[in-house]
Each structure stands twice: as C-alpha cells, then as structure tokens.
Amino acid sequence: MTSPGTVLVVGGTSGIGLATARQLAAAGHDVHIAGRNAQRLERAVASCPELTGHAADGADAAAIGQLAASLAPVAHLIVTVSGGEGVGPLDGLDLAMLRRAFEAKFWAQLTTVQAALPHLAENGSITLVSAITARASMPGTAGIAAVNAAVEALVRPLAVELAPRRVNAVSPGFVDTPWWDALPEDARRAYFDAAARALPARQIASADQVAEVVVLAATNPNITGTVIETDAGARLVSLP
C-alpha cells in the first residue's frame, strides 16, 4: 500500500464510494468525498467525521476541476458515480433512458477524470467502478452492459497514456447498496436470495467487501491497467 495521502472520492456519499472513503480514512489518508445530493453528503460526513465533504457533481467539469485544484496534489482519485437506469429487454429499451444512463455513469466518470487530471500527483492513481454486466450474459442488461463496458474500455489505454499514474477499475456483481432501492424490500430480498443460490460464492456482496477491492486497486503500486472482478462468480453462471 502507498503512503497515506489526499484522496478524492467522487460519488462518495453512499454505497461503495462511502465504504471506500471510510476504509481509506481508517488507514490514515486525508479523504474528501464529493456528491451532488446535499442531504446524502451531510449524512455521509456525519457517519464518519474523518471525512471532508464537498458539494460537486461528477458531470460538472468546472466544479470537479476547482475541487481537485484545492486539494492538489491528489494522490488517489476514485470515481464511483453511477445511475439507476439502463436495464431492460432490447425490444422495449428506451434509448433516451439509455442515453441518460451513459450521461450519469460513463460521461460523468470520464468528465471527472479529465477535470481532475491536472491536479493528480505524478505517481497517483485513478480508480473507476464499472459492473460485471460488462462481461456477463444476463438477458435484459444489454444497455447497462454497454455503459459499463465503455467505462472499462478507458482503463488500458489510459494506464499507458497517463503513466506513471496508475489507472484501474473495479467490477462488482450483486452488491447490497442503495442502487437497488427502487425495488420494494421484499422483492429485493427475494431476488437477492435467488441470485445468491446461483452464484458460486453463494452470497450477495456488501459495500464494504467491494470497497476493500477498490482500496487495493487505488493503493497497491503494482496494479495498473487492470479491471478487478469482485462478483461472487456472477460472470461464470446463468443468473435469474
């Protein structure tokens, strides 16, 4: 693990982003989280006083650039921004909705990286978060698979282009986070139970479990140009 430094987690107000921020703060890093939802930001900072919160949207290049400049040099940039759209069978897929999904995840992650890049330490790291749909074969996920595959496609060329800065992504499978909040609790539990029975690891991940992998990707100086799968084996089997 690299020595403690300044960390910026964009999308760090809930789920995997917040869990990652907490773990890095516990390891002694100076951790700053950014999000566009003021209430979530306030709750996140209240839950872990070691964190410093900033109101900033990952899709807003000017805001992210100003924030990164105020923290420079940023040792580790972690981008976990996402969205709740993109799923559905192709024959009825709303392409306007899919464009919004690209804006919310792919374009926001790319915008964040570009805006923060001038303020990243020379030996710093960039860690993106995609999802296993980029490589799995689940019906009804072609749209969101394309979004996550686009995120992952950035990793290898940028790892070479931006060297010696390191660029990686983490690809989770099923994770019990607020991303699933649109489903009623009983329906979510039933779906998770069925999925867990089909997964080789027989479990649905917690945000903390995935965050451990994000921390590894961000802080291990020997990892670059890599997409790390943390999916309980979801890419290996047919899922409900």
Per-residue pLDDT band at 240 (split at 50, 70, 90) = low
Query: Domains, the chain, ranges and CATH?
Result: 6-180+207-230 (3.40.50.720)
Contacts (Cβ under 8 Å, ≥6 apart) of 159: 166, 167, 168, 224, 225, 226
pLDDT at 57 over 70: yes
Contacts (Cβ under 8 Å, ≥6 apart) of 46: none
Helix/strand/coil percentages in the chain, nearest 5 = 50, 20, 35
**Structure tokens belonging to residue 159:** 């790892």
Residue range 127-174, pLDDT digits in tens: 999 999 898 888 888 999 999 999 999 999 999 999 999 999 999 988
DSSP H or E stretch at residue 75: strand 74-79
Residue range 175-206, pLDDT digits in tens: 887 777 777 888 888 888 888 898 999 998 99
The DSSP symbol for 83 reads -
